[in-house]
Amino acid sequence: MARQATIYHNPACGTSRNVLAALREAGIEPTIVEYLKTPPDRATLETLLKTMGKSVRDILRKRGTPYEELGLGDPAVTDDEIFVAIAKHPVLIERPIVVLDKKAALCRPAETVRDLLG
């Protein structure tokens, strides 16, 4: 049976490209979501986070994003405020996130995808 996979992908990101290549090398052709063009909605993000066992802060990208200027490192910033910031600036989502079968992981570093491929 073919394995079902989705990658939240940024083609400009080397790590994201490497993870996509690893999936393909394993014989898996994932659904590719270019999240900067079609960002996941809050419900989708919450499902991904629950599956990964992570909080919304765990998937925040700091480098090359408005993370600092939005003050998202402040512990007083609520999860709701972070979700609003992500909706406005999807670049704040760290990449790539891969969903494979019933598991999900933030595959950074790229080798993390091996745990999902198991």
Phi-psi region of 71 (alpha: psi -120 to 50; beta: other; left: phi over 0): left
Structure letter (DSSP) for residue 93: B
pLDDT for the residue numbered 104: 97
- CA terminus-to-terminus distance, the chain: 16
CB atoms within 10 A of CB 104: 21
pLDDT for the residue numbered 2: 74
Catalytic site residue from 5, 7, 13, 28: 13
**What are the two backbone dihedrals, phi and then psi, of residue 24, each rounded to the nearest 5 degrees?**
-65, -40
Residue 76 tokens read as 């007083």
**One digit per residue, pLDDT tens: the chain, 118 residues?**
678 999 999 999 999 999 999 999 999 999 999 999 999 999 999 999 999 999 999 999 999 999 999 999 999 999 999 999 999 999 999 999 999 999 999 999 999 999 999 8
Structural domains for the chain = 5-59+94-117 (3.40.30.10)
Question: Does the annotation mark 107 as catalytic?
Answer: no
